[in-house]
A and B are shown apart, each in its own frame.
Chain A
Amino acid sequence: MRDAVVCRCEDLTEEDVVRAIREYGLRSLGELKKVLRLGMGPCQGRTCLRLAARILARETGRPVSEIMREVSVRPPTVPMPVAHAAALAEVVDGGEG
């Protein structure tokens, strides 16, 4: 189902992902991210990374678990308004530089 949407934030279909994997010889989610912005939208990969990992597994023969282990989790865990983060500078130990 090549026109199935894989990454809603960046509007990427399975076709886009497969094409990038083949054109650039990609083997990891990190590379897909850099080449297609997959996982860089507001959802930060929550919806798309696993789907993309399965496509990668199919194309490269790498196990999904190995591909997913390479994903780096970064803060904030939920998007945080600049003003909230700024306010924390007052009350968090070592918060302000």
Chain B
Amino acid sequence: MVERADVVVVGAGIIGCATSYYLAQRGLDVVVVEREHVAAGSTGRCPGGIRMQWSTEEHIRLAMKSVEIFEGLSEELGVDTEYRQGGYLIIAKTEEEVRAFEENMRLQRSLGVPVRWLEPSEIREMVPQLDVEGIGALGAAWNPRDGYANPFKVAYGYARAARRMGVRFLLGTEVRRVLVEEGQVRGVETDRGRIRAEYVVNAAGAWSREVAETAGVRLPNRPFRHEILVTEPIERFLEPMVICFHDNVYFRQSEEGTILGGWGDPGERPGYNFRSSLRFLTTFSRLLKRYVPALGHLRVVRQWAGLYDVTPDAKQITGPVEGVDGFIQANGFSGHGFMMGPATSLLVAQLIAGEPLDLPIEPFLLSRFERGEVVGEASVVG
């Protein structure tokens, strides 16, 4: 049993695995404590989308940094992450959306995102199988540098690389308490013993709030079920990820040729619900058939559920908290943890190692809620 480390990372999803990797790169001694196994939580249930098309500057910058990392990641980790810049096609269905997209695109372009507006005819040219009229698309925002990757390959790739640098992964082990003494983190108490450390990174995803509570820190995160399904494979025809905020739907084609997609139920209540619903199966199928009529015959093979770890402004909570030194948050990703993961994890490692940060984390500090500096992220889907 491990007794001591420089940093304990709670959770082995994308955040835990990547953070431990970047910390080890900087010479720190790290232990990752995970209740189940690598990517057993939200990371292992997500469709792997990676986009820069956000409505706030901090999200756009962070996502761009992640994309930069993803672009070189297969080589860096020595694993095929299946990262593809197939682009994101964000369908607009109302005049209000068209106007909002115009504003978003202006901001995105000012930061270097190569996004542009597509007319319905251009959407049809790009993906002829999309029933543009049937959907009632007024146009779409298109960024060819958006894309997707395989979340299993990425998380396990980071974990393997981290292990090779000496990171110890304690799987099947639960953190019971974060140990705090005189306002300073002392380590964690697990169900297999105590680990002393000066830093604890809270990367427990949908369970981050519980972990923080043991340290006397209150997080505003709430877990929401989101369902997703996968079909049998079909010949590759779809390069972009297609999303629509109005219909709250998204889908893409995987490396294997299967269609992966989800729909967000606006009536979903917070909770730890992993059950699959008929409502999701029928509603998403109806939407998919409307978007791509030719997929009617394609068989749904499996549906499952995962949790979004949601904060009041749909933005992550990252960095230190007041009152407990050494307790670093890296959670609250509200459905975009996989894509923001690499960049955020790098920033957390830089922070702990005492290096200058590549990007500011002020917008993501927990204290923003107390200071009343809350500007919500609008571009959330699924």
Residues in chain A within 8 A of chain B (CB atoms): 23-28, 30-31, 34-35, 37, 42, 44, 72, 74-76, 79-86, 88-89, 92, 94-97
Contact = CB atoms under 8 A, between A and B. Distances in A.
Interface stretch (B114-122, B191-199, B277-285): B277-285
The 8 A-B pairs at the shortest CB distance, nearest first, are namely: A83-B296, A85-B285, A79-B299, A89-B282, A97-B283, A86-B285, A86-B286, A34-B152
A94 B267 CA distance: 11
B292 to A, nearest CB: 9
Contacts of A30: 36-37, 40
In this complex, the member of A26, A75, A88 whose beta carbon has the largest number of chain B beta carbons within 10 angstroms is: A75
B44 A34 contact: yes
B278 A88 contact: yes
21 contacts: A24-B156, A30-B36, A30-B37, A31-B38, A34-B152, A42-B301, A75-B302, A81-B298, A82-B296, A82-B300, A86-B285, A86-B288, A86-B289, A88-B278, A89-B286, A92-B279, A94-B278, A95-B279, A95-B282, A96-B279, A96-B282
Contact of B231 (A24, A27, A82, A96): A82
B171 interface: yes
Contact of A27 (B171, B288, B297): B171
Contacts of B9: none
Contacts of A92: 278-279, 282
A55 to B, nearest CB: 17
B283 A95 contact: yes
Determine chain B's interface SS by DSSP, over half rule. Answer: mixed
A51 B303 CA distance: 24
Contact of A44 (B231, B265, B288, B301): B301
Interface residues of B, number: 41
Interface in B252-289: 256, 263, 265-267, 276, 278-283, 285-286, 288-289
Nearest to B259: A82
Nearest to B277: A94
Contacts of B282: 85-86, 88-89, 92, 95-96
Contacts of B266: 97
A45 to B, nearest CB: 10
A75 B276 contact: yes
Contacts of A95: 278-279, 282-283
Contact of B300 (A24, A34, A85, A97): A85
B40 A83 contact: no
B301 A97 contact: no
Interface string B11-55: 000000000000000000000000011111000100000000000
